[in-house]
């Protein structure tokens, strides 16, 4: 299992190198192989600290993972438009805040995927993850809807072959409900 993770990481890095260089001469291919090998070697321990050891990671259902990634890609444009409306329309002031919630996702890899997916969606950013406790900064309370109804968590749980998650109890802390008066 660890060897599979090493090979997948190496191949992904090599393909990334090749897509950036777009050259196939021997020098660039050799540099790409060396760069991918060194990066794989140095980042493997970091990867295992973040997503867990390969032996501890549950088998992932590739179909559900691809379905989740496609769903996530489709969430990004509408969220960006929603944020643009709030920024451009003076009648819709932003209401930034921090939301805290717990997840029952067991795998560190599943929690890492959730944290990164939250940050990819415009208007939300994962600030902290401690075990199953998430702290997320949100531009408006509406941007956390898919977290509040556990839609994102359920899709990730399905990909990691876990029981579906129930909607979490969300704690919203508004950052600027009342702005202080300008002293001038």
Residue 18 lies in a domain: yes
Q: How many CA atoms lie within 13 Å of 148's alpha carbon, on the beta-carbon side?
A: 12
Q: What integer pLDDT is reported at residue 181 of this predicted model? A: 52
Q: Are residues 125 and 47 in the same domain?
A: no
Instruction: Give a yes or no: residue 83 inside a domain.
Output: yes
Say if residue 23 is in the same domain as residue 74: no
| Rounded CA separation 150/140 (Å) | 18
- Residue 22 shares a structural domain with residue 103: no
Residue 178 has pLDDT above 70, yes or no: no
More confident residue, 148 or 158: 158
Q: Record the tokens describing residue 147, joined without a space.
A: 């977290």
70 and 131 housed in the same domain: yes
Q: Are residues 88 and 170 in the same domain?
A: yes
Q: State yes or no: pLDDT of 21 exceeds 70.
A: yes
Kindly calculate the radius of gyration of the chain based on its CA atoms and give it in whole angstroms: 20
Pair (83, 166) in one structural domain? yes
Q: Indicate if 18 and 81 belong to the same structural domain.
A: no
Same domain, 69 and 91: yes
pLDDT tens readout for residues 99-145: 999 999 988 888 999 999 999 999 999 999 998 899 999 998 888 88
pLDDT at 66 over 70: yes
**pTM of the complete model:** 0.74
Per the structure, the complete domain to which residue 83 belongs is given by 62-174
- What's the CA gap between 68 and 75, in Å, rounded? 10
Q: Which of 157, 154, 120 is nearest to 136 (CA)?
A: 120
Cα separation of 130 and 107, whole Å?
13
Report if residue 20 sits inside a domain: yes
CA 152 to CA 103: how far, in whole Å? 11
Question: Which of 37, 56, 75 finishes a domain?
Answer: 56
Does the residue 184 lie in any domain?
A: no
Residue 33 has pLDDT above 50, yes or no: yes
Same domain, 145 and 97: yes
Same domain, 104 and 142: yes
CATH number (domain holding residue 168): 3.30.70
pLDDT tier at 179, thresholds 50, 70, 90: very low
Query: Which one is predicted more confidently, 176 or 174?
Result: 174
Structural domain contains residue 29: yes
pLDDT at position 1 is 66
pLDDT tens digits, one per residue of 34-64 = 999 999 998 888 877 777 776 767 788 999 9
Predicted pLDDT at 101: 92
93 in a domain, yes or no?
A: yes
Number of domains composing the chain:
2
Buried b (16+ CB within 10 A) or exposed e, 48-72: beebbebeebeeeeeebbeebeeeb
Which contacts qualify for 44-48: CB closer than 8 Å, 24 or more apart?
Answer: 44/5, 44/6, 44/9, 47/5, 47/9
Provide, rounded to the nearest whole percent, the portion of the chain with pLDDT above 90.
45
The answer to whether residue 30 is domain-embedded is yes
Mind spelling out the 3-state secondary structure of 126-155? EEEEECCEEEEEECCHHHHHHHHCCHHHHH
């Amino acid at each position: 299992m660890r060897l599979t993770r090493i090979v997948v990481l190496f191949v992904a890095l090599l393909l990334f190198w090749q897509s950036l260089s777009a050259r196939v001469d021997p020098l660039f291919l050799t540099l790409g192989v060396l760069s991918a090998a060194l990066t794989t070697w140095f980042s493997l321990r970091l990867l295992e600290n973040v997503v867990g050891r390969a032996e501890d990671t549950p088998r992932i259902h590739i179909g559900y993972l691809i379905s989740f990634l496609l769903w996530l890609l489709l969430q990004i444009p509408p969220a960006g438009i929603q944020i643009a409306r709030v920024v451009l329309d003076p009648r819709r002031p932003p209401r930034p805040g921090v939301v805290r919630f717990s997840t029952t996702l067991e795998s560190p890899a599943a929690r890492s995927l959730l944290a990164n997916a939250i940050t990819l969606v415009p208007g939300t950013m994962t600030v902290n993850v401690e075990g199953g406790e998430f702290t997320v900064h949100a531009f408006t309370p509406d941007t956390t809807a898919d977290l509040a109804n556990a839609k994102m968590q359920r899709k990730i749980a399905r990909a990691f072959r876990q029981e579906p998650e129930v909607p979490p109890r969300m704690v919203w802390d508004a950052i600027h409900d009342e702005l202080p008066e300008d002293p001038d």
